[in-house]
């Protein structure tokens, strides 16, 4: 079993509501996707569930949907009289939420967007020092970010990455267009040219496309542990879950599971939102 010291900078994004299992393995920090306002995960949590769990564990909230004005008002009502002191932080993608949440609790999570130290230092100049860095960076780019920022850096160490998010009903529209019967909300598909597999999921009128191969950065764990927090996202991961939890900080984990770490060794020349 891992010790608390081993796991203190690791945060689990769970694929089920079985916290005793994670606790038994030494994990005490969790990211809980807020129901209705998060997308692309296996389980979602109500405000009441979050409040209850925050009395037992180190809890972060995930809100990763782009929000309509009506939804912003709904979240504002949810957070009325909310005790933010019990929450470690709130991951947000829609920056309108910065008006509703104390700055010190905000974790900027703009998927694929935080690519370099200048972007991170700019957010810090605005009062936001907690950021999730893109996990499509090389290890050298990550080292540069660590060396040239003083912000608290979060990183998805293990994850079936969300590649695309849309506020459209992509699955329903596809089946309707081809006059086919839709029997479920989530499908595994294979892209014809590359033969790579993806997970397409529709929920609450929005859609995500995720890689069906696990991104695993553990080959470089010695460098990545210099970051402040490492996230283990178990969404869409089932068979490999126990192996991951038993070997989460091993530099050999990527050889034990179906995974890749391509981006850590191959630079993307142009990145979305790249401020330099």
Cα dihedral 245→247→252→256 (10° resolution) = -50
Give the bridge partners for 61, in sequence order.
32, 90
Average confidence score pLDDT of the chain: 92
Whether the predicted pLDDT of 216 surpasses 90: yes
Domain with CATH 3.20.20.70 in the chain: 4-160+213-265
Report the relative pairing of strands 152-159 and 89-92 from DSSP bridges.
Answer: unpaired
Model-level pTM? 0.93
Q: What is the pLDDT of residue 273?
A: 56
CA distance 2 to 49: 27
- Centroid of chain to Cα 69: 24
Whether the predicted pLDDT of 111 surpasses 90: no
Residue % of the chain over a pLDDT of 70: 95
CA distance 128 to 138: 24
Please report which residue ranges of the chain form alpha helices under DSSP H: 4-7, 19-24, 47-53, 69-78, 117-125, 139-148, 170-177, 221-224, 241-246, 262-265
Do the Cβ atoms of 12 and 32 come closer than 8 Å?
no
User: What are the structure tokens assigned to 197, written together?
Assistant: 């597999």
Fold (CATH) for 4-160+213-265? TIM Barrel (3.20.20)
Question: Each residue of 196-210: pLDDT tens digit?
Answer: 999 999 998 899 999
Any idea what DSSP says for residue 34?
B
pLDDT interval class at 182 (50, 70, 90): confident
Residue % of the chain over a pLDDT of 90: 80
């Amino acid at each position: 079993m891992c010790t608390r010291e081993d796991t203190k900078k690791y945060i689990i994004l769970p694929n089920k509501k079985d916290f005793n299992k994670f606790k038994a393995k030494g994990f005490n920090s969790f990211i809980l996707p807020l129901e209705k306002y998060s997308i692309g995960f296996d389980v979602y949590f109500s405000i009441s569930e979050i409040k209850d769990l925050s009395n037992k564990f180190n809890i972060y909230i995930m809100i990763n949907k782009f929000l309509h004005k009506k939804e912003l008002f709904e979240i504002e009502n949810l957070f009325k009289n909310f005790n933010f002191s019990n929450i470690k932080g709130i991951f947000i993608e829609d920056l309108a939420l910065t008006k509703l949440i104390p700055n010190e609790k905000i974790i900027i999570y703009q998927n694929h967007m935080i690519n370099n130290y200048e972007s991170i230092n700019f957010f810090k100049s605005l009062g936001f020092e907690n950021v999730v860095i893109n996990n499509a960076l090389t290890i050298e780019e990550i080292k540069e970010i660590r060396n040239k920022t003083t912000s608290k850096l979060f990183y998805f160490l293990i994850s079936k990455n969300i590649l695309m998010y849309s506020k459209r009903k992509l699955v329903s529209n596809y089946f309707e267009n081809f006059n086919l019967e839709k029997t479920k909300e989530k499908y595994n598909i294979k892209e014809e040219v590359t033969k790579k597999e993806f997970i397409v999921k529709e929920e609450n009128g929005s859609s995500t496309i995720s890689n069906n191969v696990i991104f695993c950065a553990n080959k470089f764990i010695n460098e990545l542990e210099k970051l402040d927090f490492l996230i283990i996202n178990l969404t869409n991961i089932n068979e490999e879950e126990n192996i991951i939890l038993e070997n989460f900080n091993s530099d050999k984990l990527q050889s034990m599971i179906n995974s890749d770490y391509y981006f850590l060794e191959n630079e993307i020349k142009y990145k979305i939102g790249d401020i330099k």
